[in-house]
């Protein structure tokens, strides 16, 4: 099998019925074609501007032409990723999309891009879109703080968020 280095972006589609995960890259109505047209014109493929915030409503009748980035990754060998539904994160994609028929996978072969370049692109896309099906942010927090410190920090933040909410609800004067 030929090895191919690609950047992976998993999108969910919430309607429109005519698009296909294997649609031509030159069709701007597909996520692949839309993103590729932007990249080809040296523009940013800003899925948030196209789709709205990541928490948009998944009702296909309300927003028939919307996509959300739900996973970003990269690979040295795309055939090893076991697309589409044997991938380790596929269960998250299907749950988020509401159906396996609403999951669309967009790939981009980075011209001349080696592993470090793809890793940097994936980190930047993850920081921008904060895809719900990625574990990198959690993994990075554990690597930086350690699991026990992360649990303690999240507990402390939760406690103070709850305390602040109660102060606001009961209109407690801070003086």
Largest interatomic CA distance in the chain: 70
**Residues 157 and 124 occupy one common structural domain:** no
Phi (first) and psi of residue 15, to 5 degrees: 150, -155
**Residues 85 and 163 occupy one common structural domain:** no
DSSP 8-state secondary structure symbol assigned to residue 17? S
Q: Find out whether 9 and 36 touch, Cβ atoms under 8 Å.
A: no
The answer to whether residue 70 is domain-embedded is: yes
Report d(CA 147, CA 12) in Å as an integer.
Answer: 31
Q: What is the pLDDT of residues 37-88, one digit of tens each?
A: 777 777 777 766 666 555 544 454 555 566 778 888 888 887 788 777 888 8
**Residues 118 and 44 occupy one common structural domain:** yes
Q: What is the pLDDT of residues 81-119, one digit of tens each?
A: 877 788 888 888 888 888 888 888 888 888 777 888 888
The answer to whether residue 41 is domain-embedded is: yes
**Residues 80 and 162 occupy one common structural domain:** no
The answer to whether residue 32 is domain-embedded is: yes
**Residues 56 and 35 occupy one common structural domain:** yes
Q: Which residues pair with 73 in a beta bridge?
A: 8
- In this prediction the pTM is 0.49
Structural domain of residue 62, as residue ranges?
A: 6-134
């Amino acid at each position: 099998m030929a090895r191919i280095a690609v950047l992976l972006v998993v999108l969910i589609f919430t309607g429109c019925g005519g698009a296909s995960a294997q649609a031509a890259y030159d069709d701007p109505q597909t996520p692949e074609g839309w993103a590729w047209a932007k990249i080809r014109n040296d523009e940013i493929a800003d899925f948030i501007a196209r789709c709205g915030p990541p928490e948009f409503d998944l009702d296909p009748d309300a927003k028939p032409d919307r996509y959300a980035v739900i996973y970003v990754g990269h690979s040295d060998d795309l055939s090893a990723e076991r697309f589409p539904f044997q991938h380790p994160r596929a269960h998250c994609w299907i749950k988020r999309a509401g159906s396996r028929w609403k999951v669309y996978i967009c790939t981009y072969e980075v011209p001349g891009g080696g592993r470090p370049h793809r890793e940097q692109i994936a980190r930047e896309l993850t920081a921008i879109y904060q895809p719900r099906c990625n574990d990198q942010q959690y993994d990075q927090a554990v690597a930086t703080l350690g699991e026990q410190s992360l649990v303690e920090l999240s507990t402390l933040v939760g406690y103070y968020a709850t305390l602040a909410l109660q102060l606001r609800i009961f209109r407690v004067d801070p003086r």
